[in-house]
């Protein structure tokens, strides 16, 4: 088979399965809850900007001030071109937030997961990963020489079975905090229990929980009645600044030894230009603002509960406890049809299809943000009901 024959075959197969993707629109403005695409305004339900901080004037001003002070780029990797004071300031802030010794920032949440798991490049290590963990975790593990075991989604009996029979010298459990395509949450208490019983390490990626969940914005860690000593059993905290914080970048928080190891062995850190200093300064400002948004987080939780209660009257949805509500339509073609009809009614809600989700699990993934109102949610639900009725008639 010639190379382009292979390319044609794969693309045709994807198209026939209604899973073909293309970049076919141009965003001119994305000020929540609206989005301007190709000169037309839509109500946006596909944003991860949960606290609407990407449009916060104080953060934008901090970003602009830092651009004038440092320039717009980092000018190289930190090991060759050096760190800026704001890189170290941000890492100290993250370590303090997570009550750990040290932290390291990356260019994105994807890079953070790729960077840490590919760095544990040893056949004596075995990763035990939830089957629905984010693709960046899977890609990172696949780049290493470590053994890789996937346990059924949130099936901790299956995890324990795999831990019990494993002969690996070093065992690391890795889980999403909030699962990005379903919106459900890992059982942190059970994971800590298994970690202690089988003497493993535990890594948690709380990308969609950080500064969103809990009164103080500590993510999934606030949702479990755990004392401080038990919370310390999470060895590696992973997250991103591209969701609630409203910017770009990722982080890893852990012991000083693990962070020192990553500085020496994480290719995604060593060989990449650093996060820009202006981005770092804006992240610091955004975290300070987000920490004090207790009332806003309560409002966001109420909006999510309202949307969930209304949607589950008409549709199959996931058992979510987060800002993500997945409407399971199963069939890719049907999901695309909903997406197209919603666009006609000025609603932007992307169709999620394989390989982002498993086969026959295509869905509309609704993201609720602080910028939405109950009236916005009502409009979405009424349109979904109308489309469902029209398609079934």
CATH of the domain at 172: 3.40.640.10
- Which of 117-126, 185-194, 219-228, 335-344 has the least mean pLDDT? 219-228
Q: Are residues 41 and 65 in the same domain?
A: no
4 or 118, higher pLDDT: 118
**In this structure, what token pair is assigned to residue 158?**
């299956």
| CA 358 to centroid of chain Cα atoms | 18
Given a contact cutoff of 8 angstroms between Cβ atoms, the answer to whether 368 and 307 are in contact is yes
Name the pLDDT band for 20 (thresholds 50, 70, 90): confident
Q: Are residues 201 and 176 in the same domain?
A: yes
Write out pLDDT tens, residues 114-127.
Answer: 999 999 999 999 99
Q: What percent of the chain has pLDDT over 90?
A: 74
Q: Are residues 306 and 361 in the same domain?
A: yes
Distance (Å, whole) CA 244 – CA 51: 5
Mean pLDDT of 222-240: 87
Distance (Å, whole) CA 50 – CA 36: 18
- Whether 23 shows a pLDDT value over 80: the answer reads no
Mean pLDDT of 1-5: 82
pLDDT at 24: 64
Final residue before a domain boundary, out of 250, 271, 291: 291
Final residue before a domain boundary, out of 263, 291, 319: 291
pLDDT at 79: 93
* Total domain count, the chain: 2
- Whether 228 shows a pLDDT value over 80: the answer reads no
Residue 348 lies in a domain: yes
Distance (Å, whole) CA 232 – CA 66: 34
- Whether 384 shows a pLDDT value over 70: the answer reads yes
Write out pLDDT tens, residues 282-340.
Answer: 999 999 999 999 999 999 999 999 999 999 988 999 889 899 999 999 988 899 999 99
Q: Are residues 46 and 88 in the same domain?
A: no
**In this structure, what token pair is assigned to residue 256?**
């000083």
Final residue before a domain boundary, out of 291, 315, 343: 291
Q: Are residues 298 and 270 in the same domain?
A: no
Name the pLDDT band for 353 (thresholds 50, 70, 90): confident
Residue 13 lies in a domain: no
Range of the domain at 234: 57-291
pLDDT at 376: 96
Write out pLDDT tens, residues 130-174.
Answer: 999 999 999 999 999 999 999 999 999 999 999 999 999 999 999
Mean pLDDT of 47-55: 94
Name the DSSP letter for residue 115: H
Q: Model-level pTM?
A: 0.91
pLDDT at 28: 65
Q: What is the largest CA-CA distance in the chain?
A: 64
Mean pLDDT of 72-87: 92
CATH number of the domain enclosing 32: 3.90.1150.10
Residue 11 lies in a domain: no
Mean pLDDT of 196-213: 95
């Amino acid at each position: 088979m010639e190379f382009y024959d292979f390319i044609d075959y794969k693309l045709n197969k994807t198209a026939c399965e209604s899973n073909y993707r293309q970049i076919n629109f141009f965003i001119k403005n994305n000020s929540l809850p609206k989005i301007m695409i190709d000169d037309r305004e839509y109500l946006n339900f596909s944003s991860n900007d949960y606290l609407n901080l990407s449009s916060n004037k104080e953060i934008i001003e901090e970003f602009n001030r830092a651009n004038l002070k440092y320039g717009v780029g980092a000018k190289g990797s930190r090991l060759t071109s050096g760190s800026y004071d704001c890189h170290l300031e941000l890492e100290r802030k993250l370590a303090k937030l997570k009550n750990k010794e040290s932290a390291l920032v990356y260019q994105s949440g994807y890079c953070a997961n790729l960077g840490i798991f590919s760095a544990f490049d040893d056949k004596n290590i075995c990763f035990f990963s939830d089957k629905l963990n984010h693709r960046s975790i899977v890609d990172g593990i696949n780049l290493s020489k470590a053994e890789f075991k996937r346990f059924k989604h949130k099936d901790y009996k299956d995890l324990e079975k795999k831990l019990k029979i494993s002969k690996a010298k070093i065992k690391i459990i890795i889980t999403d905090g909030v699962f990005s395509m379903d919106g459900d949450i890992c059982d942190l208490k059970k994971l800590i229990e298994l970690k202690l019983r089988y003497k493993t390490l535990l890594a948690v990626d709380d990308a969609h929980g950080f500064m969103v969940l809990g009164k103080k914005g500590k993510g999934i860690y606030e949702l479990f009645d755990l004392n401080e000593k038990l919370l310390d059993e999470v060895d590696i905290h992973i997250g991103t600044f591209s969701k609630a914080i409203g910017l770009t970048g990722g982080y890893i928080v852990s012991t000083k030894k693990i962070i020192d190891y990553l500085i020496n062995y994480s290719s995604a850190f060593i060989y990449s230009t650093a996060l820009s200093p202006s981005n770092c300064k804006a992240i610091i400002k955004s975290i300070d603002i987000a920490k004090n948004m207790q009332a806003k987080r309560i409002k966001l939780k109420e909006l999510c509960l309202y949307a969930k209660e209304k949607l589950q009257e008409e549709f199959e949805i996931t058992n979510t406890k987060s800002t993500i509500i997945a409407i399971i339509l199963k069939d890719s073609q049907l999901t695309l049809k909903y997406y197209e009809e919603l666009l006609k009614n000025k609603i932007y809600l992307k169709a999620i299809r394989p390989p982002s989700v498993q086969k026959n699990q295509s869905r509309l993934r609704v993201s609720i943000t602080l910028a939405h109102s109950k009236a916005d949610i009502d409009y979405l639900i009424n349109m979904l009901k109308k489309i469902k009725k029209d398609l079934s008639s």
